[in-house]
Amino acid sequence: MAMTSQTSCSSMSNHTKERVTMAKVTLENFYSNLISQHEEREMRQQKLEKVMDQEGLGDEEKGLRRSEHARKETEFLRLKRTRLGLEDFESLKVIGRGAFGEVRLVQKKDTGHVYAMKILRKADMLEKEQVGHIRAERDILVEADSLWVVKMFYSFQDKMNLYLIMEFLPGGDMMTLLMKKDTLTEEATQFYIAETVLAIDSIHQMSFIHRDIKPDNLLLDSRGHVKLSDFGLCTGLKKAHRTEFYRNLNHSLPSDFTFQNMNSKRKAETWKRNRRQLVVFFIYLRPAAIPIEIKSIDDTSNFDEFPDSDILQPSVAPVSNHTEADLKSKDWVFINYTYKRFEGLTARGGIPSYMKTGKR
């Protein structure tokens, strides 16, 4: 019987094997999402109860809060089950183009809300074996509940295209800002480097690696704060992401990667994968302050000589307590000083000080 089973499996075509694998992954994701949704509902309920206890509300007021919470949960589930299509949105203009499609500014007809619609051509994705990349991008956008990541509100598909309805950020991207300003001030550079580090760290905490940090993928909201976008090369190394799609070994990661279970050394190694891109981004911002010398393509190998110290590690003493010689000897002093200067980075409601003074 075992030999018969092995023979039948080996006789299946690659197309059949792939469809079987996809069916298995689909079922796993479906039930995994059900469990996650139940856990999230329980966490929201527990959070509500904790807040009500802290506020010292009476039983009647608690009952009203619970009823309102239940109504919102029901509305949320209804929205998740809603079937949307291209006809539900009015296209306003094309705001970007890419290898697999385009991005349009659209308006939802029933609410009037404005979104960015990312349209991806299925045929091109299949031809270039990019399905795994698209799954990774969708997964992180679904799971991400972070101020540092562009939000995805809806997704749907037809026979030709996949549609991702994203948050529209009127500030544009960092590359456009650099083209306008050529070189940013030191204060602005520090601010954006610090926010980029925090944004990268936020997706690391979700067990994802971006792997494509560049000015084009750093969007700015209406107040000038950074949000990460374009997770096409991102991976969480789930089965559905199919690591064999990643042909470039420089983008490969260990198959047993789990961020939560890493020791400090492994976390530092994880940061190195984005540190190289972060330094290149810094050079974009401040070309007059290039921290490395590159005379030829071969010299890019010195990118591997960055210090092992974690760039997120705060200093033991305030920067003001260090001598000038101490500051120059610290590889992390630029990032560390930035953190000291912008301690309110996580409070994203305000406008950056350098923008108020017209230094941008």
Catalytic residue positions, numbered: 212
Q: Could you tell me the CA-to-CA distances from 332 to 29, 78, 205, 315 in Å, in that order?
A: 41, 49, 21, 9
Spatial separation of the C-alpha atoms in residues 38 and 253, rounded to whole Å: 31
Q: DSSP for 30-83, please give it.
A: HHHHHHHHHHHHHHHHHHHHHHHHHHT--HHHHHHHHHHHHHHHHHHHHHHH--
Type of residue at 297:
I
Asked whether the beta carbons of 153 and 144 are under 8 A apart, the reply is no
Which residues share a beta bridge with 219?
173, 227
Spatial separation of the C-alpha atoms in residues 123 and 127, rounded to whole Å: 6
Asked whether the beta carbons of 214 and 232 are under 8 A apart, the reply is no
- Coil, strand, or helix at residue 132? helix
118 marked ligand binding residue:
yes
Type of residue at 23:
A
Spatial separation of the C-alpha atoms in residues 209 and 275, rounded to whole Å: 12
- The count of other CB atoms within 10 Å of the CB of residue 120 is 22
Annotated binding site: 118
Annotated binding site for ATP: 118
